[in-house]
Amino acid sequence: MARASVTLHGNLTDFLAPPRGGSGGPRREPGSPARDAVVQRSFEGHPAVKDLLEAVGVPHPEIAAIAVNGAPVGFDHRVQDGDRVEAWPGDVAAAQGLVPVLPAAPEDSAEPRFVVDGHLGRLAAYLRMLGFDTWYRNDAGDDELAAVAAAERRILLTRDRGLLKRSVVRRGACLRSDRPVEQLVEVALRFDLLDRSRPFGRCLRCNTLLVTVSRDEVLDRLEPLTRLHYDTFRRCPGCGAIYWKGSHHARMERLVDRVRVGVLALRERPGRRGDGTVPGRDVAARTREEGPMDGGVLEMRLVVTAPDYDAALAFYRDVLGMRELGVFSSPGGRVTILDAGRATLEIGDPGHAAYVDEVEVGRRVAGHVRVAFQVPDAEAATDRLVAGGAELIARPVETPWRSLNARLNGPAGLQLTLFEELDPAR
C-alpha cells in the first residue's frame, strides 16, 4: 500500500482531534499554540490530494494552499507513493504569499453572503444584526444547505465537518467555538467583516432589508407606551416585523462593540489569527483586560450593608446564582464579593422611576435605589427567588421596551427587578 506524509500548518491541526459527538467542530484550549503536525497516510491507487486531506480530517474549504513535494498544486492533483503533502489555512497562506489552491472567483471579492447550519440560529441572527445577507432555516437539511451554498455562492458556516466536505461547497468555515458570540468573532475575523458591517438594517427573523416608516403607518400595531415614547420605526417588508430603538437596541449596540473589541484585540496580537486559539474566547473578559476604549470606569461595584449577612449571602450567591469572586475579613466583620456579570449605572428622575413602577407593578413601590438583574428566564428565576425567601411584589410582565420584568423584595433591604430580554421584533 502506498504512503504519503501530510504536514498541516497553523490551525488546520485542530482537525486532527476527533470531533465531539462525531460531527462537531474542533476545539483547542485558549492560549495553546498551533504547532505544525506531520501524519503518515496510507492509500490505494492515486487519490486526489483533496480526498487525501479530507481523509485526514480537514474539510477542503478550510484549506487555502497546498504543496506536494514543494510545488503548489490544486485540489485535483493526484497523489503518488512517497509524496510530501503540505496544507495551509487562509491566514498563514496569505501571510506567506502562497499560491491559492483555488482560482479567484467574483464572489471572493464581493460582500460576504452566508448560509448557516440549522444548529447556529443565534449566529445567523447576529450576522443579520450586523447587516449581512444570511440564509437560515432551522429545519434545513444538509443537502439543502450544501445546494444553497453552491447555487447562491454563499459561505457555509457549520460545526459539522462532514457537511463542509461536500464537493459542491466552495467556501465555508468549520466553527471552533460552540458559543454564539465567540462564533461571531470567529466569522468577523476570518472574513474581515468589521469594515463592511452596517448594523441594524436587516430583519433578524427573515433576512429582508428594513425600510423606515412613520409612526402613523404602524400605530395600530404598537403598545400604548411605545406610541408615547418612540417616534422612529422600521418595518420588514418580508415578514412585517417592526423595529425601534428601545432597550433591546442598546443591548445589541453593546454586543456589536464587544465583537469589535474582540476582533481588534486578536488582530493586534502577533500570530493569534493562525495559532489555533479560539477566536472570541471570553470576549467580555478580554474587553476588561484591554480596558475601556475611552479610559473611563473599569468596574461598578454596588456595596450593600446586610444586617443578616449569612442569609443575604446565601440568597444572592446560592439562590440567585451569583458567582463568588472573593471572601475577606476585617476587624469584627466579613465581606464577600459576588460576580454580577456586566454592570451598568442607570440614573433616572422621579418621573421615570414612577413610570417604571407603574409598568412593572402598577403603583409606586421603589425607593431611590433598585437593583436589576438580567436573567435568561424571568418566570423560573422569580419562582426560585420566592422559594428562597424573597417577597413577591409583582410577577413578570411584558414591558413596552420588550423585556419580561418581575419585582421582588430581597434580603439586605434591596428591591429587585428581574428582567428577561425578549425578541426585539414585533
The residue out of 267, 290, 313 marking a domain boundary is 290
DSSP lists the bridge partners of residue 409 as: 391, 415
Say if CB 45 and CB 287 are below 8 A apart. no
If asked whether residues 148 and 195 sit together in one domain, one would say yes
Residue 266, pLDDT score = 78
| pLDDT band at residue 32 under the 50/70/90 scheme | very low
If asked whether residues 229 and 317 sit together in one domain, one would say no
Say if CB 74 and CB 101 are below 8 A apart. yes
Say if CB 355 and CB 401 are below 8 A apart. no
Rounded distance between C-alpha atoms, residue 149 and residue 173, angstroms: 12
The 10 Å Cβ neighbour count of residue 159 is 24
H/E segment holding residue 38: strand 37-43
Rounded distance between C-alpha atoms, residue 214 and residue 218, angstroms: 7
pLDDT of 107 higher than 50: yes
| pLDDT band at residue 253 under the 50/70/90 scheme | confident
Rounded distance between C-alpha atoms, residue 418 and residue 285, angstroms: 24
Residue 333, pLDDT score = 80
Q: 72 lies in which domain range?
A: 2-102
What SS3 class is residue 203?
Answer: coil
If asked whether residues 86 and 112 sit together in one domain, one would say no
What SS3 class is residue 365?
Answer: coil
If asked whether residues 307 and 405 sit together in one domain, one would say yes
If asked whether residues 74 and 29 sit together in one domain, one would say yes
Name the grid cell of 19: 470531533
Mean pLDDT value across residues 394-418: 90
The residue out of 55, 72, 102 marking a domain boundary is 102
Residue 416, pLDDT score = 93
Count helices and strands in the chain by DSSP H and E runs: 14, 18
Least confident range from 68-82, 190-204, 255-269, 361-375: namely: 255-269
Query: Closest by alpha carbon to 356, among 410, 409, 399?
Result: 399
More confident residue, 54 or 328: 54
Render pLDDT for 269-295 as a digit per residue (tens, 0 to 9): 544 444 334 343 444 444 444 444 444
| pLDDT band at residue 31 under the 50/70/90 scheme | very low
Q: Percentage of the chain with pLDDT > 70?
A: 86
If asked whether residues 142 and 119 sit together in one domain, one would say yes
Measure the CA dihedral 286/287/289/295, to 10°: 170
Can you give the CATH number for the domain in which 73 is found? 3.10.20.30
**Sign of the C-alpha dihedral, residues 187, 191, 194, 199?**
negative
If asked whether residues 338 and 413 sit together in one domain, one would say yes
Mean pLDDT of the chain: 85
Rounded distance between C-alpha atoms, residue 179 and residue 350, angstroms: 40
Mean pLDDT value across residues 18-27: 48
If asked whether residues 138 and 190 sit together in one domain, one would say yes
b/e per residue, 291-323, with b = 16+ CB within 10 A?
eeeeeeeeeeeeeeebeeeeebbebbeebbebe
If asked whether residues 248 and 393 sit together in one domain, one would say no
Render pLDDT for 42-91 as a digit per residue (tens, 0 to 9): 999 999 999 999 999 999 999 999 999 999 999 999 999 999 999 999 99
Can you give the CATH number for the domain in which 365 is found? 3.10.180.10
Least confident range from 11-15, 182-186, 268-272: namely: 268-272
The residue out of 290, 308, 331 marking a domain boundary is 290
Residue 286, pLDDT score = 45
Least confident range from 165-174, 177-186, 327-336: namely: 327-336
Residue 424, pLDDT score = 60
Say if CB 28 and CB 176 are below 8 A apart. yes
The 10 Å Cβ neighbour count of residue 192 is 11
Concatenate the DSSP letters of all residues of 220-253 into one string.
GGS-HHHHHH---EEE-TTT--EEE-SHHHHHHH
Say if CB 53 and CB 76 are below 8 A apart. no
- What phi-psi label fits residue 14: left (phi over 0), alpha (psi between -120 and 50 degrees) or beta? alpha
Give me the long-range contacts of 149-153 (CB less than 8 A, separation at least 24).
Answer: 149/115, 152/113, 152/115, 153/105, 153/107, 153/113
Q: How many domains does the chain have?
A: 3
b/e per residue, 20-31, with b = 16+ CB within 10 A?
eeeebbbbbeee
Which of 82-96, 272-286, 309-323, 371-385 shows the highest mean pLDDT?
A: 82-96
If asked whether residues 266 and 118 sit together in one domain, one would say yes
pLDDT of 172 higher than 80: yes
Residue 124, pLDDT score = 95
If asked whether residues 47 and 129 sit together in one domain, one would say no
**Whole-Å CA distances, 226 to 231, 245, 339:** 9, 10, 33
If asked whether residues 270 and 385 sit together in one domain, one would say no
